[in-house]
Amino acid sequence: MRRGLFVFCVCGDAHVARVDLALRFLKRFSRADAVVVVARSTYPLSHDQILAAAVPAGLNNHQASIYLKTMLPQLVGTGAVCCYLDSDQIATSERVDDVFEFYQPPIMFAPDASTLDQFSRYAVNCSCRSGACGHLREAIRARFGIDIPDGQTHHWNGGLYLFDRASTDFAQRWHGNALLSFDDAYWRIRDQGTLLVTQWQFGLQEHPLIPKNATRIVDRFFGYGEAVRDSLRPDQFFVDRSYELRGPDSSSFLHFINDGAGHAGWPMWDRVEALLVNSDEGTALAGG
């Protein structure tokens, strides 16, 4: 089995605290090393492989994390295949290390759960409040001169990606595209839109994808409008019963978007927390 390196990249104390939680699960299920690239934080992260990074003062923490995320092939100087993880990617299986085997240069991503037009209104500041729209594709055409005809395709998700030194050119272009979007108030602070642009600039529309069961998106707010989200209790969050935590089709990572990780009382999280507790108990009984 190919042994690689997991990489987190965070800016600000709140996001570093999330990595602390993610590392608890990753260390239980993985045998690979992990490094955390950190900026603007005094949080006492309980990890020994930390790379301090500088970010421009004019960027907010969200922008700064994308600034670093799109530079990782340059920042992490290793010949091994690396797997970037968002701070809300939670390891749930001993198969997590298998992800390195999927790598095909120059870079690899998993597909997003939504289609391009479904994601559009979260990527740009258009007037749409529900459903799918073509405004992101229009913005890409206006800003970058790229015409993407099919809004029903599943774009790449930046929450987990594989890279090595061969990924540097792609990452540099993605980095530059992201900086351009920061200067345009119509573009929301997201990495997927400029990732899509870079994919097309490099002609990688047919490039292989990381298998879907490597990471699965879990959204506590699925089906809820933004106006009611802050009032929801954990027992009211969306419960996805379409997958299992164990078995041949289970996911290696669960991607708890919208700050879903750690909410006790939400069945989706309680089941995952139980994995860690049961694993710890099993290790103790075995004398580990």
Mean pLDDT of the chain: 91
Residues 154-179 have a mean pLDDT of 95
Give the residue-averaged pLDDT of 83-105.
95
Q: Would you say residue 285 has pLDDT above 50?
A: no
Question: Model confidence over 29-85: pLDDT tens digits?
Answer: 999 999 999 999 999 998 989 999 999 999 999 999 999 999 999 999 778 899 999
Rounded Cα–Cα distance for residues 147 and 28 (Å): 45
Name residues whose C-beta falls within 8 Å of residue 224's C-beta, 6 or more positions apart in sequence: 232, 238
Which tokens belong to 6?
Answer: 């997991």
Residue pLDDT, tens place only, 221-271: 999 988 999 999 999 999 998 888 888 788 999 999 999 999 999 999 999
Return the beta strands (E) in the chain as ranges: 5-11, 33-39, 50-52, 82-85, 89-91, 108-111, 156-163, 215-219, 253-257
CA-based nearest residue to 168, from 101, 260, 262, 105: 105
- Percent pLDDT > 90 in the chain is 81
Domain ranges of the chain: 1-102+211-288, 112-157+167-210
